[in-house]
Each structure stands twice: as C-alpha cells, then as structure tokens.
Amino acid sequence: EAQVTQNPRYLITVTGKKLTVTCSQNMNHEYMSWYRQDPGLGLRQIYYSMNVEVTDKGDVPEGYKVSRKEKRNFPLILESPSPNQTSLYFCASRDRGLKSYEQYFGPGTRLTVT
Amino acid sequence: GQQVMQIPQYQHVQEGEDFTTYCNSSTTLSNIQWYKQRPGGHPVFLIQLVKSGEVKKQKRLTFQFGEAKKNSSLHITATQTTDVGTYFCAGRWMDSSYKLIFGSGTRLLVRP
C-alpha cells in the first residue's frame, strides 16, 4: 500500500530535550516536505526537499533541522524544543513531474513540549 | 510575503444546503490545490487548478479558478454529513514550484 508513515504519532517532551520525528514514504517520490498545523493558521511549511541531499527552508524553519540521506526518509529534528513548537506535524511527499502534483500526507505527529 | 486568505473560517449548515469557501491571493498564482481534512485526520488532496477561469467538478463539488488566477472557490451542492471536515486551499506562485502556501482553512459542520 502506497503511504507516508510518521513516528511517533504522539510525543510529550520537555524543553531542550532533542527529538527526531521520522518520516518515510514507499512511493519513490522525489519531493518531501514537513508542515506544522496550528489552529487558525492552516498548514505552514517548515522545510522541503527536492531530492537526496537537497533541502531548503519553508516559511517557518526556525528551530528545526532536516536531512535527506535516502530518498524514502526525511526526518525532522528539533535540537532544543521549546513550548512554541507544540503543534501537529505532517510529512508529505509527491512525485516529480508536471502531472505528479498530488501531495500525499502522513498521519501526523502531535507534539507537546512542556 | 505570499499569503492565501481563506473565508469563512467556519460554516455550519443543515444537511442538504449548499456550502462555499473562498480563497484569495494578492498576487497571481501559478496554480491552486484543494485539500480536505476530516476531524482527526490528515489532509487529502482533492484537485489542482491551473488554467485561468478553470472549472472542475467532482460529483457534488465544483472548483473554480479566477480569470486573474488570484482567487478560487470550492462549492458543495446539497451537503451531506460525510462532507464534514476542514477544506484548505493551497497556492503555488510563479517563482517557486516547490513551496505551497496553505490558506487557514474553512471548517464545515453539517447538521443532520
């Protein structure tokens, strides 16, 4: 089954404790993105990646890092989480090409930073 | 910066009534996408509009892209309880093919 998976689905942590949210897709997609969703603000793009070893900042990259060492994986790293990073996070992927514009979203990771 | 404004924020309708949500950009878009997110779920792609004045239909859903490619709408005819969720538009600008800017969403509630 074609899908985007994220782990963990839920995480409660404390300020300053480094964490990683994993994202993996099995569709051989080139493009991957991370979004955060906050009430009233919709989805805001954190980082995106056009291919292995190629990443760029989205609209709200501060406090986050990403890496793309393999095509299927795109982990999101919070080196020193703060309470304002409490949010619902979605990973998404899509194929390259003019007609491959549909983004597939993962199930989401609800993060609480206390 | 680039923004997509979406209204209304909420819409509560009686089952069988119609529903419309609107998106506006201050600058010309390359294309616009629409997504639906069920409560507790993740966004699911509905459609992409590319051409000026484009109209596309999916059963009871009608999507429009404005002539100036600065606005778009989603209209649902005769809503059903299965339509409940939040509808997002997401715009892509001429100068970037990777960044997608989402509107804040319209949450649709349907009274049975």
Query: What six digits make up the tokens of B41?
Result: 């779920």
* B107 → chain A, closest CA residue: A40
B82 three-class SS: helix
Asked if the model's pLDDT at residue B96 lies above 70, the reply is no
Distance from CA of B43 to the nearest CA of A (A): 6
Q: What is residue A97's predicted lDDT score, i.e. its pLDDT?
A: 66
Q: Does B1 touch chain A (CB under 8 A)?
A: yes
- Say if residue B62 is exposed, middle or buried (CB neighbours under 10 Å; 0-12, 13-18, 19+): middle
Using DSSP bridges, classify how beta strands A42-51 and A54-57 pair: parallel, antiparallel or unpaired.
antiparallel
With a pLDDT cut of 70, the percent of chain B lying above it is 96
Query: Would you tell me which residues 31-50 of chain A have a C-beta closer than 8 angstroms to some C-beta of chain B?
Result: 31, 33, 35, 40-45, 48, 50
User: What letters, b where the CB count within 10 A reaches 16 and e where it falls short, cover B91-103?
Assistant: bbbeeeeebbbbb
d(CA A97, CA A75) in angstroms, rounded, equals 23
Q: Where do the domains of chain B lie, and which CATH numbers do they carry?
A: 4-111 (2.60.40.10)
One digit per residue, the tens of pLDDT, for chain A of length 114 reads 889 999 999 999 999 999 999 999 999 999 999 999 998 888 999 999 999 999 999 989 999 999 999 999 999 999 999 999 999 999 999 987 656 678 999 999 999 999
Q: Average model confidence (pLDDT) for chain B?
A: 94
Find the mean pLDDT for residues B70-93.
96
Q: Which two tokens stand for residue A62?
A: 């501060």
The dihedral built from the CA positions of residue A16, A37, B50 and B9, taken in this order, carries a sign that is negative
Question: Other C-beta atoms within 10 Å of A14: how many?
Answer: 11
Half-sphere exposure of B2 (CA within 13 A, CB side): 20
Binary contact (A42, B88; C-beta < 8 A): yes
Kindly determine whether residue B104 and residue A102, on different chains, have CB atoms separated by under 8 Å.
Answer: no
A79 touches chain B (CB under 8 A): no
SS3 content of chain B, % helix, strand, coil (to 5): 5, 55, 40
Please judge whether A59 and B1 are an interchain contact, meaning their C-beta atoms are less than 8 angstroms apart: yes
CA distance A49 to B86: 26
Residue B56 makes CB contacts below 8 A (sequence gap 6+) with: B47, B49, B62, B63
pLDDT at A2: 83
* pLDDT for B3 beyond 90: no
CA distance A14 to chain B (A): 24
Q: Please, which residues 8-47 of chain B have a Cβ atom closer than 8 Å to chain A?
A: 9, 31, 33, 35, 41-45
Among the listed residues A12, A2, A19, A11, the one whose alpha carbon sits nearest the alpha carbon of residue A114: A12
Inspect the interface and report whether the beta carbons of A90 and B42 lie closer than 8 Å.
Answer: yes
Interface with chain A: mutation pick from B29, B102, B107, highest number of A CBs within 10 Å: B102
Token pair of A67, please? 């890496």
Residues 76-95 of B with CB under 8 A from A: 88, 90
Is B45's CB within 8 Å of A102's CB?
Answer: yes
3 state SS of B94? coil
Instruction: Please answer whether residues A64 and A48 qualify as being in contact, where contact means their C-beta atoms are separated by less than 8 angstroms.
Output: no
